[in-house]
Amino acid sequence: MIRSLILLTIIFSVSCSHKIVAERTTYFPKRIETMSNSIKKENVWVFIMAGQSNMAGRGVVEPEDTVPDKRILSINKDGEITIAKEPLHFYEPERTGLDCGVSFAKVLLKKTSDSVSILIIPTAVGGSSISQWLGDSIYRNVKLFSNFLSKLELAKQNGIIKGILWHQGESDANEKDIPLYKQRLHLLFSKFRLAIGNNELPVLLGELGSFSENPVNFNLINKAIHDYAAEDKNSTVILTKDLKDKGDNLHFNSNGQRAMGKRFAKAYLKMF
């Protein structure tokens, strides 16, 4: 009897797990189109997405997120240039979902010449701390800063790097790391800009969500983010206080991700 109950429990758990995965991946693209024709480097604006899970994306991909635009590009895990379809990140296939990359690019395209394409380079890894980025740690099988550098070379070969979208800080929202967070932002973004070869490269930062179970520490990280931006004229912060989570008190839902993309784009257009 006990063995039967255990077996039924296991079967039920596996069934529920498969159902969750199926729901998460229902509208993942069945086919990704690589760029067969060469693109003119001078007409490609490149933006690099970096940080942890809310930049990597945990929203549910819905039909509207899968409509391709041949002027919105990304890369696949083999480093090939592709027509962008959400999800863009591929480092954590069992976790990844909708991010803000395509919604960001859609807004930019409305304000640019018809000759311009947007290339979004994904480098974010869920759960990674800023000290791990600075230390080039291996996290979830990704060597964080080295991976950024390798994707940077790919970006340089195919376009002009216009900015970095950064969302991170949940893993640093603790008493030990909060006092060092602003300083670490300075160090990391200096490394990013040095590697790119542009000391004035725009960096756009997103606030942590207001739905945390640890609001005091999240607010302190947000304060550090704003304090950093006040000292760096080539950075700006997008607000997220009104955005909702996906029910886990940690990750932005699909509407939140789309809204973040639009806000990143509007902030970039306004400032840069």
Nearest alpha-carbon partner for 205 in 271, 108, 136: 271
pLDDT of residue 16: 38
Please compute the mean of the pLDDT values over residues 32-46 and round it to a whole number.
85
pLDDT band at 31 (very low <50, low <70, confident <90, very high): confident
- φ/ψ (deg, to 5) at 228: -60, -50
The model carries a pTM of 0.91
Instruction: State what percent of residues in the chain have pLDDT above 90.
Output: 85
Q: Which of 65, 72, 91, 75 is CA-nearest to residue 34? A: 75
Tell me the percentage of the chain whose pLDDT exceeds 70.
91
Over residues 228-237, the mean pLDDT reads 98
From the number of C-beta atoms within 10 Å of its C-beta (0-12, 13-18, 19+), residue 155 rates as buried
Dihedral of the CA atoms 224, 131, 87, 75 (nearest 10)?
120
Q: What is the pLDDT of residues 58-117, one digit of tens each?
A: 999 999 898 899 999 999 999 999 999 999 999 999 999 999 999 999 999 999 999 999
Strands 160-167 and 203-206: parallel
Q: What is the pLDDT of residues 163-222, one digit of tens each?
A: 999 999 999 999 999 999 999 999 999 999 999 999 999 999 999 999 999 999 999 999
pLDDT tens digits along 16-30: 343 444 579 999 988
70 close to 118: Cβ distance less than 8 angstroms: no
Domain 31-271 has CATH 3.40.50.1110: yes
| Whole-number pLDDT of residue 263 | 98
**Where do the structural domains in the chain lie, given as residue ranges?**
31-271
CA distance 194 to 168: 20
* pLDDT on residue 75: 97
